[in-house]
Structure 1
């Protein structure tokens, strides 16, 4: 089988799980080309990206900047027997979503349809929003089946009318949590259409760490990893840190970028905790792993953003638990599918700053609790969240050899 993989941007540091999936598909014999809707925004890449040997093609990110390519593609595609039906379908979508983004989607689909290899058997999109739309229009133009991976923001911010159409017309959808699967099943009568497979992590890259839970004369090291966006709840976390008893000895390290990072730093100053915080910015996977090894407690205060966006099952929680770190997070989406409150971590309701503060104080005060929950979480990850096992449902969907 040969596939065209359609992604929003490539490569991306924040989407290591996508690269890991592509690498596993490559290892199992899938031939594919990556088509990216956007140029990379950073020169930084993970080691995984270097192992992926597939060709990468970039579709026009801004149509007006590449009119020659667009017109050339349209001149070729307009002759297809499927052209009028596909354009009629797109016009109906445009009536429900009158936006430049909707215009860009059909433009990118036209270019892709004109330039794609003639021996492609399947279009596969990451994720359910923009990339799936490009795949859907391309599928209609070329009469090639398409499938999709659904994750987080794409599941919870795509309009229901659009989800219903995509679920109806795709070959299958695979999603990374039971919570997502339950939600997407509302849009189909076919229970076999929506598949579930956790992303998991490559345990060769995150080997088990024998953590020392009983350190003397060293303050408790707190860690969080994630882009500074609303759904990560970093403002809640800083407020919780500011409410900790003054006699507790702790430092907090944050890894991740984002347009709101400077505002978060100013908030730390306002809360008078900036001297206790280390801002690392964007880091490589090896640097992140080193921070996991050093950390005593991992925190992710996930919440639902005003536009409905939310985390699915953040890989950073799985990575942290693989290193024996007890995790504090929230009861949102699929996080409770990983963290069992009081067993391998602690959970609070989204936005519960006092609850976050209480759980932080509890684990800072108790090394034995950190050890019990850290070991329990590590055991769970190695039993159930190995990427080699989690990828198997997708391998079956592509009809590849295991």
Structure 2
């Protein structure tokens, strides 16, 4: 059976912080799909941290760069003007779904221009289905591309930030017009149900972001080395972790923290570590590629993610796949990955004392820590394996393309 040729679209691809999308693309290719990758913007050099990112970047179609070519832009839209009724409806959709204000209207008209170029590219490449990750501006382009070309789209919705401004991003209309929506967790699906029409609920499926467990070696240590991986942004709660280290440094002389990632808060966090007198215990490593993250996990004793808002963090999956016990916050979809007291510790977000208590508990009870690491790896292997999740996504794409669209949230147990 010939599988549909797919295109993938995000605002910026590939990014060092979105390696799960690259894994999903690679897994779909292994399942037999031809996948054309597309990115609205050109990825910054800081994200091209390894050969995998550089190879994907080289083969990815950059929509905005193509749209800046006047001849290509005009030719693309002249193609769709051959069906003036469809073109007018697509333009009307762009106007109708634009955020309030002149700026919102202007941006949606720009997205409409980009959609014309993207749709022409997809048609030229023989793509029959477009899938979008991150349901913001790039998903608007995907929706308008479908309105122009008739090439159907689906999207993966993550959260939590998309749910801060659901009306701005018109996730109701995007859901209505999509063939299906892949929600990364039950929590995420429930949030989308707040805004999507009830008639669309049946096409909201759960497709976990996943990892390749075999990429991560299983490890176990009994030291006091902590690891954080993520964007250095306010939402990740790193200052709470710094305050906890400050409180515990007297009782834990060997406590050390490495941070992998970068972001807008890095300078402020470096200053904070000096102000607290813990800069000799904290090391900022910047962005690292997948292999380097896997290696860092082999050298750590405990993974900590004190976020204030998350979807289902892939970095937690990576740590759990390595057998590293985790401490994180009891928010959003995280409890669907980490079971408190079984595969890790969950603490209230923003609570320094609770985080200190969890760190202390982890370090005074090594056997419990090891058992949690083992349970975490089993959880990830069973429910967050990118190859299994890509197979389910492929089933959704193929099913909706035919007459056998799946009717369950998740794959049947026999699959």
Q: TM-score, normalization: structure 2?
A: 0.87
1:35 matched to 2:38:
yes
- Structure 1 distance, partners of 2:35, 2:225, is 43
Q: 1:255 pairs with 255, 260, 263, which one?
A: 260
SS of the residue corresponding to residue 274 of structure 1 reads: coil
Q: CA deviation at 1:51?
A: 7.5
Give me the whole-angstrom Cα distance separating, in 2, the residues matched to 1:235 and 1:300: 11
Runs of 4+ in 1 over 4 A off after TM superposition: 45-55, 65-68
Counterpart-to-counterpart distance in 2, 1:348 and 1:383:
24
Deviation track 1:148-179 (CA, whole Å, cap 9, x = no partner) reads 11122563244237111111111101121111
Q: Comparing 91-100 with 139-148, which one deviates more in the overlay? A: 91-100
Distance 1:122 1:389 in 2: 20
1:227-238 map, 5 Å: 227-238=231-242
Number of the residue aligned with 1:317: 316
User: In the alignment, what sits opposite 1:285?
Assistant: 290
Q: Aligned Cα RMSD in Å? A: 2.4
Question: How far off is 1:260 after superposition?
Answer: 1.7
Task: Give, in whole Å, the separation in 1 of the partners of 2:161 and 2:69.
Answer: 27
Q: What is the DSSP-based 3-state SS (H/G/I as helix, E as strand, rest coil) of the residue aligned with 2:205?
A: strand
Are residue 104 (structure 1) and residue 107 (structure 2) matched?
no
Distance 1:381 1:244, change over 3 A: same
Are positions 1:115 and 2:121 aligned together? Answer: yes
Q: Quick check: 1:199–1:391 contact (8 Å CA) kept in 2? A: no
Aligned residue for 1:200, secondary structure, equals: coil
Question: Could you say what secondary structure the match of 1:94 adopts?
Answer: coil
Is the 8 Å Cα contact of residues 200 and 387 (structure 1) preserved in structure 2? yes
1:252 CA drift (Å): 0.7
Unaligned runs of 5+ in 1: 214-218, 304-309
Q: 1:120 to 1:289 in 2, by over 3 A?
A: closer
Q: Does 1:357 align with 2:356?
A: yes
1:131 aligned onto 2:135? no
1:224 equivalent in alignment to 2:228? yes
User: Aligned to 2:74, which of 67, 71, 74?
Assistant: 71
The corresponding residue for 1:165 is 173
* SS at structure 1 position matched to 2:115: helix
Matching of residue 202 in structure 1 with residue 179 in structure 2: no
1:243 is paired with a residue whose SS is helix
1:15 aligned residue (8, 18, 27): 18
Counterpart in 1 of 2:331?
332
Change (3 A) 1:159 1:168: same
Separation (CA, whole Å) in 1 of partners of 2:353 and 2:40: 42
The DSSP-based 3-state class of the residue aligned with 1:339 is: coil
Q: Which secondary structure does the structure 2 equivalent of 1:79 belong to?
A: coil
Q: Does 173-182 or 119-128 show the bigger shift?
A: 119-128
In structure 2, what is the equivalent of residue 85 of structure 1? 89
Q: Deviations over 1:323-349 (max 9, x none)?
A: 111111001111111111122211111
State the 1:293 CA deviation.
Answer: 0.8
Post-superposition offset of 1:59: 0.9
Cα deviation 1:366-388 (Å, max 9, x = unaligned): 32332222222222222332222
Distance of 1:286 and 1:120 partners within structure 2: 32
Distance across 2 between alignment mates of 1:132 and 1:35 = 12
CA contact (8 A) 1:197 1:390 kept: yes
Whole-Å Cα distance in 2 between the matches of residues 45 and 275 of structure 1? 26
